[in-house]
């Protein structure tokens, strides 16, 4: 099976500015930032999207969320706040079929989202 863009980043076949990595997740800067700080945090396991996650992925997903908060704090976003976004499927604008959480911060964000 062909690798997704993000599997290629995990394998270091494509460059990325990695801000955090462990055995389970990797966090790197989005190539087209939508906020002063825009990070993607992804599981190393190729789960396509949250709708395809299985009960056995619970630990990975919990770890990903906790690390998202840790990365946000490390990058100075805790005080001002930040937004975590998972785009799931075409209506949400999902472009890469490898589960990823956007960490967006450094500016005020509107609600509802566009």
Catalytic residue list: 100
Smallest gap from Cβ 28 to ligand AMP, in A, equals 6
Contacts of 36 (CB under 8 A, 6+ apart): 105, 106, 107
Smallest gap from Cβ 102 to ligand AMP, in A, equals 6
- Of 5 and 84, which CB lies nearer to ligand AMP in the complex structure? 5
- Of 79 and 105, which CB lies nearer to ligand AMP in the complex structure? 105
What is the torsional sign of CA 83, 60, 39, 30?
negative
SS3 52: helix
Smallest gap from Cβ 87 to ligand AMP, in A, equals 3
- Of 21 and 56, which CB lies nearer to ligand AMP in the complex structure? 21
Q: Count Cβ atoms below 10 Å from residue 63 Cβ, excluding itself.
A: 15
Q: Which tokens go with 23? A: 């055995």
**Contact residues: ligand AMP, CB under 6 A:** 5, 14, 16, 30-32, 40, 87, 93-96
């Amino acid at each position: 099976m062909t690798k997704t863009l993000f599997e290629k980043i995990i394998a270091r076949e494509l460059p990325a500015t990695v801000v955090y990595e462990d055995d389970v997740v990797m966090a790197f800067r989005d190539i087209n930032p939508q906020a002063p700080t825009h990070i993607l945090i992804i599981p190393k396991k190729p789960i396509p999207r949250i709708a395809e996650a299985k009960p056995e992925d619970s630990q990975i997903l919990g770890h990903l969320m906790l690390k998202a908060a840790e990365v946000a704090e490390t990058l100075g976003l805790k005080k001002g706040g930040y937004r975590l976004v998972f785009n799931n499927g075409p209506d949400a604008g999902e472009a890469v079929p490898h589960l990823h959480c956007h960490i967006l911060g450094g500016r005020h964000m509107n609600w509802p989202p566009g």
